[in-house]
């Protein structure tokens, strides 16, 4: 049976709720719908989503980070974080176990200006690969979210001028290459190897979205064992409300 998954960095769920979020949510009608950068605490948001089970992971710091996962099918088990205290205070990971796969939403740390958080980001990347590889030994993995990296030059409008900026450093790109080489697939690029101008994030500065001067940093990544089940992968650039747009994966 075909399943439809959506991932969206909403850059504040309370803000996006004032910008037609519910209409978008209902229109996309996903089996699993994931959010990143929810920027809220428990009790600050009441989302009425009939037919969905809701799971939230809040950052300890107020108004920062955070993830959510909404699913029509109830998971066997849901956990928050990776089980590593140094990485689990910012609400960045939710893992839902289903009969046939693990489904995760993740908001990967940004290396920030002057790359001041790049060393932490490198440690996070190693922990993340270890974590999903442990899951993958039991059953296939599907994960989605804002990975804060444009993997190849085709994934960013201005590669030359962004070369040492957070999200397009050699170090970040190499970590993602290593992950893919460990047995995972970037679903959009797998189906659309030569697609250009397909971005999921635009700076609020310089009218970047108007000029489509963007980055593709939101992904669905799956275990190689699932590659024959990919039915579609797309980027909903037409959907507004955040500096990111939703991305989609369809499997059967």
Q: Find out whether 39 and 14 touch, Cβ atoms under 8 Å.
A: yes
Contacts (Cβ under 8 Å, ≥6 apart) of 130: none
For residue 102, indicate whether it is catalytic: no
CA distance linking residue 26 with residue 187, whole number of Å = 24
Q: Which of 52, 55, 58, 107 is catalytic?
A: 107
CA distances to 121, 143, 150, 197 from 171, rounded to whole Å, are: 10, 21, 12, 23
- The DSSP symbol for 122 reads H
Alpha-carbon distance values, 21 to 18, 40, 48, 94, 104 (Å): 7, 16, 12, 21, 22
Contact 234, 191 (CB under 8 A): no
Residue 93 C-alpha from the chain's centroid: 10
Active site residue 204: no
What's the rounded Cα separation, in Å, for the pair 142 and 135?
10
Q: Which residue in the list 146, 186, 218, 250 is annotated as catalytic?
A: 146
Which positions are annotated as active-site residues?
107, 146
């Amino acid at each position: 049976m075909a399943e439809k998954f959506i991932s969206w960095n909403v850059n504040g769920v309370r803000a996006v709720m004032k910008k037609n979020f519910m209409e978008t949510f209902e229109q996309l009608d996903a089996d699993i719908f994931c959010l990143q950068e929810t920027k809220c605490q428990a009790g600050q948001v009441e989302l009425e989503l009939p037919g969905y089970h809701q799971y939230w992971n809040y950052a300890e710091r107020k108004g920062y980070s955070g993830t959510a996962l909404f699913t029509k099918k109830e998971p066997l088990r849901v956990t928050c974080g990776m089980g590593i205290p140094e990485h689990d205070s910012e609400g960045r990971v939710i893992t839902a176990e289903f009969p046939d796969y693990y489904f995760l939403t993740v908001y990967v740390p940004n290396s920030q200006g002057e790359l001041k958080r790049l060393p932490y980001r490198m440690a996070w990347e190693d922990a993340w690969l270890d974590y999903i590889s442990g899951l993958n030994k039991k059953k296939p993995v599907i994960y989605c979210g804002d990975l804060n990296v444009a993997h190849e030059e085709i994934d960013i409008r201005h590669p030359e001028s962004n070369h040492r900026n957070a999200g397009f450093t050699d170090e970040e790109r190499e970590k993602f290459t290593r992950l893919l080489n460990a047995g995972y697939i970037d679903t959009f690029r797998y189906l659309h190897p030569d697609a250009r101008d397909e971005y999921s994030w635009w700076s609020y500065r310089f009218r970047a979205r108007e000029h489509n001067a963007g980055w593709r940093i939101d992904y669905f990544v799956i275990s190689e064992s699932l590659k024959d089940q990919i039915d579609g992968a797309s980027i909903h650039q037409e959907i507004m409300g955040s500096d990111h747009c939703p991305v989609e994966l369809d499997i059967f």
